[in-house]
Structure 1
């Protein structure tokens, strides 16, 4: 029996309670909706599927900006958006024809909260989820909460001359801790070739004074995806070339966080600035052989033995690669370079 897309979608919607458990087993019922994090199938609330009424089977993924009917859901979850394969799978699942043995659906893989290392397949699912969030962001920063948040930190993007393309604004990004969405600053973490490995998210909110700041969460900053060796590319310096095309002998500033990196970029516009996301990742950062000198714009973690060991490990690795390493650390205990920038502005 052959059926068209509309008829298949209607048939799937008639069995939507079974369908969502088949496609998104880690989800949970919330009233008249089935909720999970995204079409990748992780736990969360950003994807909602209607379970009853005229809109049964209709869904929206607020993390990635996609939506559709029940057939579209099959396509998005199992076949990377291919409706043709989704139709063939749906006919088999509904019993309208024999299951096609040639179909290889991509099942969503969910990492349970066990603390174990994720598999390559699970890592790929997280990378895809990160990409969907990135594509759902707005590339322009002027006038957005990200612009206001950075301005409150003393970072005037207009003074950079060019806002970093690796930083975007998401108007409504789901946060699992608070079980709600917040505006967010989203940054792309790229590997040596320039391809995106993961994303970094900073959820934002306005305080009692009306100023934008980090949202009142235990963890207002989080990454999504494997990012070992990657960086957030904040400024290209005077060469304006991509990192992979860095000219021979170029000097690079390596900071830990986005705010620190942008603060240094304002002070040293002629130099390339990268954010390593964390001290533990700083020693893993992969740089072209043409980069001969690295300036680490570190935080003053005086007394923090763990941080000092991680910093020394990064220094040792870069020295072993035959590079020159210089260290720039604020003189005030516990301060970073964004603190210095704000103190100077005050």
Structure 2
């Protein structure tokens, strides 16, 4: 009975070309190798899988020349299908190899998981499942470098140490550390994810062209901080919203990730007052006006929080916490100052 990873990998290596044709279908054979863009089946020529024993290694072993990643065909199955647990990978491998399950007492075989469409809500859920809480990670380092230290209620933020980044449709895939924001609906179902790729030491964003990107079903949904009651603050960017929460940490908030999505956020039941954490640009003006109209139509009081500079993270970094507190304080409803705003220390 084949049970262990080593045995499964050896069986797959004996059928290396068939395995590659099935899981890396966007590649092609080139001599003794299967050539493809990366382990997630992107078209290209960066990754080489050995189809037989060569002077450089055993059959089934692969290397991505662009990223330095390497592994065996079990890794190919895991990454190509977006699987998380080894049990799922092993089950898929046995199914492909037509091997029996290791325990005859186990019930009927589960349906084999298909690859999640790129950019889909399912792909976002799998990415978040492979991520970890931000505490003690480079994502926390990054946020602290942006002046953001009040991370209570930030369970929607995660960290992935090697998140894939594709600079262009058929360009070589890279991996960078990334802060991952879970996008959820009003009942906390994950509908998408937002990636912020980071430098290798977390000191800044990664030195790449597109440093942030969202995926999944975003319209109406948001990255949420705390649970909304009668009062909610809603803004565009994660860092801008978190910067505002630095001086009013008791308030629930959400980041819609863009001006267009901010204008379309869904209102939770029981909401009575909405603070619009706007960005200081024309798109922010449009989102503000649209959201005020929608809120008023729903019987919700809408108040605007405007930054001095471009957004509240710029204010926090340039003006400091005390100046930010004073600036936001005069824009809050009087009853919310005592309820949500921190006092100077």
Relative to the length of structure 1, the TM-score reads: 0.69
Deviations 1:68-104 (A, max 9, x none): 7559938984999275575355339xxxxxxxxx997
Distance 1:326 1:79, change over 3 A: closer
CA distance in 1 between counterparts of 2:17 and 2:127 reads 26
Distance 1:171 1:82, change over 3 A: closer
Quote how far apart the aligned CAs of 1:188 are: 1.0
The match for 1:138 among 132, 135, 144 is 132
Q: Is the Cα–Cα contact under 8 Å of residues 80 and 115 in structure 2 kept in the other structure?
A: no
Deviations 1:269-303 (A, max 9, x none): 121111111111113322321111110110111xx
> How do residues 229-268 of structure 1 correspond to structure 2 at under 5 angstroms?
229-234=220-225, 236=226, 243=227, 246-247=228-229, 250-268=230-248
Q: Is the Cα–Cα contact under 8 Å of residues 71 and 87 in structure 1 kept in the other structure?
A: no
Distance 1:203 1:286, change over 3 A: same
Alignment partner, residue 308 of structure 1: 285
Alignment partner, residue 166 of structure 2: 176
CA distance in 2 between counterparts of 1:127 and 1:55 reads 37
Quote how far apart the aligned CAs of 1:47 are: 9.1
Aligned: 1:274 with 2:250? no
Alignment partner, residue 196 of structure 2: 202
| Paired positions, count | 296
More off after superposition, 68-77 vs 188-197: 68-77
Distance 1:271 1:4, change over 3 A: closer
Q: Is the Cα–Cα contact under 8 Å of residues 296 and 328 in structure 1 kept in the other structure?
A: yes
Alignment partner, residue 273 of structure 2: 293
Distance 1:162 1:35, change over 3 A: farther
The match for 2:210 among 214, 219, 225 is 219
Quote how far apart the aligned CAs of 1:27 are: 4.7
SS of 1:291's partner is: coil
Aligned: 1:319 with 2:296? yes
Deviations 1:89-137 (A, max 9, x none): 5339xxxxxxxxx99755436xxxxxxxxxxxx47x7333323322332
CA distance in 2 between counterparts of 1:71 and 1:91 reads 19
Alignment partner, residue 13 of structure 1: 13
Q: Is the Cα–Cα contact under 8 Å of residues 232 and 273 in structure 2 kept in the other structure?
A: yes
Quote how far apart the aligned CAs of 1:316 are: 2.3
CA distance in 1 between counterparts of 2:206 and 2:289 reads 32
Alignment partner, residue 116 of structure 1: none
Deviations 1:148-206 (A, max 9, x none): 22222221x2xx26261111222222211173221211111111111211111111116
Distance 1:52 1:198, change over 3 A: farther
Alignment partner, residue 97 of structure 2: 90
Instruction: State the Cα RMSD in Å.
Output: 4.1
More off after superposition, 274-283 vs 48-57: 48-57
Q: Is the Cα–Cα contact under 8 Å of residues 38 and 46 in structure 1 kept in the other structure?
A: no
Alignment partner, residue 64 of structure 1: none
Deviations 1:197-251 (A, max 9, x none): 1111111116xxx8811112221001122222221113x2xxxxxx3xx44xx11
Relative to the length of structure 2, the TM-score reads: 0.70
Aligned: 1:149 with 2:142? yes
Structure 2, unaligned stretches of length 5 or more? Answer: 65-70, 100-108, 322-345
